[in-house]
Amino acid sequence: MAKFYKVLAKGQRSCYGGNHVWKVEKWCEVQGELIPCQNGFHFCRPENLLDWICEEIWEAECEGEVIDSGDKLVARKARITRQCAEWNETSARLFACDCAQDVVHMLPGPEAQHLIEVARAYASKNASYKELVAAQEAAWEATWEVACDDAGAAARGAIWAIAREPAWAAARDAAWTAARKKQTKRLINLLSPKSEEVKK
């Protein structure tokens, strides 16, 4: 039985079409032809997780017929099994900061690095939202000229994103504009349950 990820809105609700509310370990099944975005339960592989980031991330399983639709899989029968509790407001914001840190060296001046530091403090409740926005505006202004260069513009976009609300949106946007393959690996590592030995 294969294991994939299911991304949901708060309260275990479908967030990319439909209004289904999922229940842990309860199998759900659809009838009729499986059609992407129309009929079937949609999941993603680890490497496509950044395409679907939202408030909740769950490990999921599917059985029976499954069709491959590129960045997602469509299954006839499926269930969610474990919420990735490692994904929350704090970890999502810090993930965004890590993504931005990878590209901050491409930007001039200290303002972008300062924004990352303020965003980390904000994630830990050691800085206010007002301080975060002020740091974001300063970084945006200081790096305006790099927008004409593709790589610099992407770095600038990653920096700008880390102040977004909610935190999962900041994580998604920062990862998209930073080194995508590296950020996908970083996210999967974040979601992996730690061993009992590590937890102690």
- Say yes or no: 179 and 114 in one domain: yes
Is the same domain home to 19 and 48? yes
Predicted TM-score (pTM) of the model is: 0.84
115 and 155 inside one domain? yes
| Residue ranges making up the domain that contains 163 | 89-190
Chain-centre distance for alpha carbon 133 = 21
* Residue 200 covered by a domain: no
Last residue of a domain, one of 68, 83, 98: 83
Task: Say yes or no to pLDDT of 97 above 60.
Answer: yes
What letters, b where the CB count within 10 A reaches 16 and e where it falls short, cover 150-174?
Answer: eebebbbbbbbbbbbeebbbbbbbb
pLDDT digits (tens, 9 = 90+) for 17-53: 778 999 999 999 999 999 998 999 999 999 899 889 9
Task: With respect to residue 195, please indicate whether it lies within any of the assigned structural domains.
Answer: no
Q: Is residue 198 part of a domain?
A: no
Residue 87 pLDDT > 50: yes
Residue 133 CA to residue 3 CA, distance in Å, equals: 39
- Structural domain count of the chain: 2
Let me know if residue 172 belongs to a domain. Answer: yes
* 164, part of any domain: yes
The pLDDT tens digits of the residues spanning 122-181 come to: 999 999 999 999 999 999 998 887 655 567 788 888 888 999 999 999 998 888 877 676
Provide the pLDDT for residue 73: 94
Give the Cα separation of 115 and 75 in Å (integer): 42
- Residues 159 and 98 placed together within one structural domain of the fold: yes
Task: Quick: pLDDT tens for 180-200.
Answer: 768 888 898 999 876 444 343
